[in-house]
Amino acid sequence: MNTAAVVLAAGAGTRMKSKKPKVAHEILGKPLVRWVVDAAKDAGAERIVSVVGHAREQVAPLVEADTEVVVQAEQRGTADAVAACEGALAGFEGSLVVLSGDCPLITPDTISALVRMRDENDAAVVVLTMQLDDPFGYGRIIRDEAGEVARIVEQKDATPEEAAVTECNSGFYCFDARALFGALKQVSSDNAQGEFYLTDVLGICRAEGRRVLALPATDAAECLGVNSRMQLAEAAGIMQRRVNARHLANGVTMWDPAQVWIGPDVEIERDVELLPQVILMGKTSVGEDSVIGPNTRLTDTRIGRGCVVDETVAVEAQVDDGATCGPRAYLRPKAHLCEGAKAGTHVEIKKSTVGRGSKVPHLSYVGDATIGEGVNLGAGTITCNYDGANKWPTHIGDGAFVGSSTMLVAPVSLGEGCIIGAGSVITKDVSAGALGLGRARQTEIAGWADENRKVKE
- Specify the residue, 170 or 301, whose C-beta has the smaller distance to ligand UD1: 170
Q: Please, which residue, 225 or 374, has the CB nearer to Ca ion?
A: 225
**Catalytic annotation, pick one of 25, 54, 336, 362:** 362
Site size for Ca ion (CB under 5 A): 1
Least gap, CB of 156 to ligand UD1 (angstroms): 9
Of the two residues 11 and 436, which places its CB atom closer to ligand UD1 in the complex?
11
Q: Indicate the DSSP class of residue 310.
A: -
Minimum Å gap between C-beta 374 and ligand UD1 is: 58
Angle, helix 200-207 to helix 177-184, in steps of 10 degrees: 100
| Shortest Å, Cβ 330 to Ca ion | 42
Closest separation between CB of residue 91 and ligand UD1, Å?
23
The CA-CA-CA angle for residues 424, 428, 434, to 5°, reads 70
Q: Give yes or no: 395 in active site.
A: no
* DSSP type of residue 257: G
C-alpha 24/C-alpha 19 separation (Å) is 10
How far does the chain reach from its first CA to its final CA, in angstroms?
105
128 residue type, one letter: L
Task: Give the pairing type, strands 312-315 and 296-299.
Answer: parallel
- Please, which residue, 58 or 259, has the CB nearer to ligand UD1? 58
| Residue 312 interacts with which of ligand UD1, Ca ion, none, CB < 5 to 8 Å by class | none
Q: Which does 198 bind (CB under 5 to 8 A by kind): Ca ion, ligand UD1, none?
A: ligand UD1
CB nearer ligand UD1, residue 201 or residue 366: 201
Residue 197: name its binding partner from ligand UD1, Ca ion, none (Cβ under 5 to 8 Å by kind): ligand UD1
Among ligand UD1, Ca ion, none, the one that 436 touches (CB under a kind-dependent 5 to 8 A) is none
**Which among 168, 181, 332 is positioned nearest to 343, based on CA atoms?**
332
Nearest C-alpha neighbor of 278 from the set 242, 316, 245, 240? 240
Ranges assigned E (strand) in 295-355: 296-299, 302-303, 308-309, 312-315, 318-319, 324-325, 329-331, 335-337, 342-345, 347-350, 352-354
Q: Which residues bind ligand UD1 (CB under 6 A)?
A: 8-11, 51, 72, 75-78, 80-81, 100-102, 138-139, 152, 154, 168-171, 197-199, 225
Residues assigned a catalytic role: 362
* Residues in touch with Ca ion (CB under 5 A): 225
